[in-house]
Amino acid sequence: MLFFSKNRFFSILILFVSFFSPTIGYAGLLSVVFSVITGYLLGFDKFQLKTGLYSYSALLFGLGFANNFEIGLAFYLLLIIGAILSTLLSVAIAAKLYTKNIPGLSLAFIFTTWVLILASKQFAGIGLTQSHIYWVNETYAIGGNPLLNFIQKFENLELLPIVAGFFKSLSAIIFQANILAGIILSIGLFIESRISFFLIILGYVIAIIFSQSMGGFNYGVLSYYNMGTNFMLVSLALGGFYLIPSSRSVLWLFITVPITYLFVFGLGTFTNSFGLPVFSMPFCITVILFLYCLQLRKNIGKLVITPLQFYNPEINLYRFINSNERIHQLSQIQFGLPFMGEWMVSQGYEGSFTHKGDWSKAIDFVVLDNEMKTFRNPGSNIEHFYCYNKPVIAPADGIIEEIIDFIDDNNIGENNVNQNWGNTIIIKHSSYLYSKLSHLKKQSFKFQKGDFVRKGDIIAHCGNSGRSPEPHLHFQIQSTPYVGSKTISYPLAHFYCRADSNVELKHFSVPKEGTFVSNVQVNSQLQQAFKFETGLIYEIKSNTNEVEVWEVITDQYNNTYFYCEAKNASAYFINDGTVFYFTNYIGPKNSFLFYFYLSAYKVVLTTEMETIVEDQFPISTLRQNLIIYIQDILAPFFIFIKLTFKIIIPKIEVNLSEEKIILNSQQIHQLGLSKKSISTSEIIIQNKSIQSFTINIQNKNIQLSCKVKS
């Protein structure tokens, strides 16, 4: 948590390095132990305790306390009390600030240490010291001359002062100040996150450049501790952790790091007058101030606060890029087309006839024959028009807000401009979101005002009432419940679109004028096969008799996911009734669950026609290599790698439950213009369930059978 990470390997390195000064390491570890015990005894959130959210301030307190005070009985008593106090403060500060989506950072550590420093002046049993200057003696006591000589070799390396200063500054975050500790932490940080490593360097460089521009290097301000805990961590926090890494977040560091520098000067002068180090207070103030102000913006802009925290800048960025459109879609009502079969868009948004001004975001639909005519000869009566008297269906679930049902149909070529919309129904789908369907047939309504309708219910029939020279269906979305309301732009969730004999499956878009559109007809077997209900347990067995057990779980936020306890893997998914797709995978990349995530990343639940579906995986799905490392470093500025999912869903003429359905998918790595298949998959569905799936990955063919256990 000190470096905004949850990587266990990096955590072990931090633990190891903290014992380069054994007294400091022991004090830090003891503080964490008492912090966790306190949390469990008082019944604080166990998840937060496990993540270190409530104990990392206690860790900082223990490290800093041992760095500044003499060891003795009074030291250990105050260490225990201070660890407990910092835990209580962490819980209280978190509870207060998290309601405003503001982190508590290391405020609990600072307040606790300040209190104990001030109080210790009245205690004869403890005094200030600089224990870190005795690290040579402590190191010798542990490992003798061999260990001491090994560490001193690094201290004596002929490095540029700025490079040596970087390593010492990085290690000072955990109250060390030696080159070897900094090198080890640098390696761990680079392995954990290339963006974090880049940002740490950038914060260090900006601080030095600003210091030079202010008149020269001032060691009193640019101490190793201030460089690490204030300037470096501000760069990491605002450059790529609390904000999605981008060129904008990086550019803002040239402002926020100097602001932190000024706080170090200003606050340091004040706190030093009381004999108190400024510690990381400048870092806390800068980060909290910046994040709080960002949340007060009227226009969000492109400087984005991290919406879902994965504790890794690369994953935060790649997930945000990948999920941005999906998250936007999940927040929307899933509207379908308000009719059965295939109709044509005779007038779309900004149409050339009546869709103008405040009423421009509307769509008119008609039915055409093979000769592109809307009627059969002679076309003189409304009954001759193909769309007349066709069923009109509810585009989404809702409550009927208004019905107008007294206007006669026009004769062909006539218009009723006095009652412009004709017979109309308005459906409320949510607050400030309504659909309106107009020019309906008189006395064809199947529901009454106040009734609840489900998506797909027949609500009326197409007519020719109002301003309608020939039968057609008018459809619009609006934010108010009135007949003459202004229109708003709003997409349809899933539909087929035909233009020039090419049929394309559209997702969350608006049909264009002149195209033929139809709803997606769901295949009942596919729908049932991908209906993974909470509580079900699946047994997945490989051709080598290895077994994984998956449970379907829904958490308190209504997120549903597969969980494999043996591999500690989770795969989050959504089934909106028409499309099944995975939204996230957390866990190792050699689990069967990961292979299923690759194989069924997005499946449209239809066999109405052969459908090719493509989507993009997050780049973090790829296994780490040199190219990925380069992409990680450049990711805030531009993306040059794509990982594409492609699946072919076959056409099946008859929708029978016993019909075998085979889905073939492919995972494609694209580097610039070069494309390479990294894996292929086959999913076999029969008897309304997934029978098996096979994946060919890394030159291995893995066959997996699926069975529902309960």
Q: Mean pLDDT of all residues in the chain?
A: 89
Question: Residue 111: inside a domain, yes or no?
Answer: yes
* Whether 354 and 453 share a structural domain: yes
266 Cβ contact partners less than 8 Å away, ≥ 6 residues apart:
none
The DSSP annotation for 603-666 comes to EE---SS-EEEEEE--GGGSPP-HHHHHHHHHTTT---EEEEEEEEE---SS--TT--EEEEEE
The pLDDT assigned to 513 comes to 93
Average pLDDT rounded to a whole number, residues 255-280: 92
Confidence of residue 261 (pLDDT cuts 50, 70, 90): very high
Under the phi-then-psi rule, with left for phi > 0, alpha for psi from -120 to 50, and beta for the rest, what region is 450? left
Residue that has been written with the tokens 């779980």 in this structure: 553
For the chain, how long is the longest CA-to-CA vector? 110
Each residue of 38-80: pLDDT tens digit? 999 999 888 888 888 889 999 999 998 888 777 888 888 999 9
* Whether 513 and 443 share a structural domain: yes
Confidence of residue 22 (pLDDT cuts 50, 70, 90): confident
The DSSP annotation for 545-603 comes to --EEEEEEEE-TTS-EEEEETTTTEEEEEEE-SSEEEEEEEES-TTSHHHHHHHHTSEE
- The amino acid sitting at 641 is I
252 Cβ contact partners less than 8 Å away, ≥ 6 residues apart:
238, 239, 290, 303
CATH number of the domain residue 477 falls in: 2.70.70.10
Q: Give me the numbers of helices (H) and strands (E) for the chain, helices first please.
A: 18, 25
Is residue 44 within a helix (H) or strand (E), and if so which, with residue range?
none
Question: Residue 221: inside a domain, yes or no?
Answer: no
CA atoms of 164 and 707, how far apart (whole Å): 59
pLDDT of residue 385 exceeding 90, the answer is yes
Q: What percent of the chain has pLDDT over 90?
A: 64
* Whether 529 and 665 share a structural domain: yes
* Whether 120 and 134 share a structural domain: yes
* Whether 681 and 704 share a structural domain: yes
Average pLDDT rounded to a whole number, residues 265-284: 91
* Whether 497 and 531 share a structural domain: no
Token code pair at residue 59:
């860790």
Is residue 540 within a helix (H) or strand (E), and if so which, with residue range?
strand 537-542
Grouping H, G, I as helix, E, B as strand and the rest as coil, residue 7 is coil
pLDDT of residue 326 exceeding 70, the answer is no
DSSP code at position 697 = E
Question: Residue 230: inside a domain, yes or no?
Answer: no
Residue whose C-alpha is closest to residue 238's, from 203, 279, 269, 189: 203
Average pLDDT rounded to a whole number, residues 550-569: 92
The pLDDT assigned to 69 comes to 79
Final residue of a structural domain among 133, 158, 183: 158
DSSP code at position 429 = E
CA atoms of 480 and 555, how far apart (whole Å): 34
The DSSP annotation for 194-233 comes to HHHHHHHHHHHHHHHHHHHHTTS--TTTS-HHHIIIIIIH
User: How many C-beta atoms surround the C-beta of residue 692 within 10 A?
Assistant: 17
DSSP code at position 100 = G
CA atoms of 293 and 587, how far apart (whole Å): 35
Phi first, then psi: give them for residue 521, nearest 5 degrees.
-90, 115
The answer to whether 634 and 641 have CB atoms below 8 angstroms apart is: no
The answer to whether 304 and 246 have CB atoms below 8 angstroms apart is: yes
The answer to whether 697 and 542 have CB atoms below 8 angstroms apart is: no
pTM comes to: 0.81
DSSP code at position 510 = -
Phi first, then psi: give them for residue 519, nearest 5 degrees.
-70, 155
CA atoms of 457 and 387, how far apart (whole Å): 18
Is residue 461 within a helix (H) or strand (E), and if so which, with residue range?
strand 458-461
Average pLDDT rounded to a whole number, residues 332-345: 94
Burial of residue 521 (CB within 10 Å: 0-12, 13-18, 19+) is middle
179 to 130, 163, 167, 461, 594: CA distances (angstroms): 19, 9, 5, 79, 40
Range of the domain at 145: 1-158
Residue whose C-alpha is closest to residue 360's, from 466, 515, 517, 513: 513
Token code pair at residue 1:
């948590």
Each residue of 420-468: pLDDT tens digit? 999 999 999 998 999 999 999 999 999 999 999 999 999 999 999 999 9
Angle at 270 between CA 265 and CA 275, to 5 degrees: 110
Is residue 503 within a helix (H) or strand (E), and if so which, with residue range?
strand 502-509
642 to 18, 113, 119: CA distances (angstroms): 39, 48, 58
Q: Which of the pair, 143 or 374, is modelled with greater confidence?
A: 374
Burial of residue 319 (CB within 10 Å: 0-12, 13-18, 19+) is buried
Number of domains in the chain: 3
CATH number of the domain residue 98 falls in: 1.10.3430.10
pLDDT of residue 206 exceeding 70, the answer is yes
- The amino acid sitting at 33 is V
pLDDT of residue 330 exceeding 70, the answer is no
Question: Residue 334: inside a domain, yes or no?
Answer: no
The pLDDT assigned to 707 comes to 86
Grouping H, G, I as helix, E, B as strand and the rest as coil, residue 292 is helix
* Whether 499 and 543 share a structural domain: no
* Whether 411 and 540 share a structural domain: no
Residue whose C-alpha is closest to residue 697's, from 591, 544, 603: 591
Phi first, then psi: give them for residue 43, nearest 5 degrees.
80, 30
CA atoms of 527 and 332, how far apart (whole Å): 22
* Whether 378 and 427 share a structural domain: yes
191 Cβ contact partners less than 8 Å away, ≥ 6 residues apart:
7, 9, 10
Angle at 126 between CA 124 and CA 128, to 5 degrees: 115
The pLDDT assigned to 217 comes to 54
Grouping H, G, I as helix, E, B as strand and the rest as coil, residue 48 is helix
Residue whose C-alpha is closest to residue 16's, from 8, 25, 7: 25
The answer to whether 506 and 497 have CB atoms below 8 angstroms apart is: yes
pLDDT of residue 9 exceeding 80, the answer is yes
* Whether 360 and 500 share a structural domain: yes
pLDDT of residue 499 exceeding 90, the answer is no
Residue that has been written with the tokens 């606050």 in this structure: 267
The pLDDT assigned to 328 comes to 60
- The amino acid sitting at 700 is K
The 3-state DSSP composition of the chain as helix, strand, coil percent (nearest 5) reads 40, 25, 35
Average pLDDT rounded to a whole number, residues 18-23: 86
Question: Residue 369: inside a domain, yes or no?
Answer: yes
pLDDT of residue 657 exceeding 60, the answer is no
Least confident stretch, 129-133, 224-228, 345-349, 699-703 = 129-133
- Between helix 161-172 and helix 194-213 the angle, nearest 10°, is 120
Each residue of 570-618: pLDDT tens digit? 999 999 889 999 999 999 998 999 999 999 999 999 998 888 999 999 9
The pLDDT assigned to 485 comes to 93
Question: Residue 201: inside a domain, yes or no?
Answer: no
Token code pair at residue 287:
């980060």
The answer to whether 603 and 594 have CB atoms below 8 angstroms apart is: no
* Whether 494 and 541 share a structural domain: no
The answer to whether 68 and 129 have CB atoms below 8 angstroms apart is: yes
Question: Residue 622: inside a domain, yes or no?
Answer: yes
Helices (H), 302-459: 313-330
- The amino acid sitting at 543 is N
Angle at 535 between CA 529 and CA 539, to 5 degrees: 60
* Whether 113 and 53 share a structural domain: yes
Final residue of a structural domain among 158, 190, 215: 158
The pLDDT assigned to 129 comes to 55
The answer to whether 19 and 27 have CB atoms below 8 angstroms apart is: no
Final residue of a structural domain among 158, 186, 214: 158
Question: Residue 605: inside a domain, yes or no?
Answer: yes
pLDDT of residue 218 exceeding 60, the answer is no
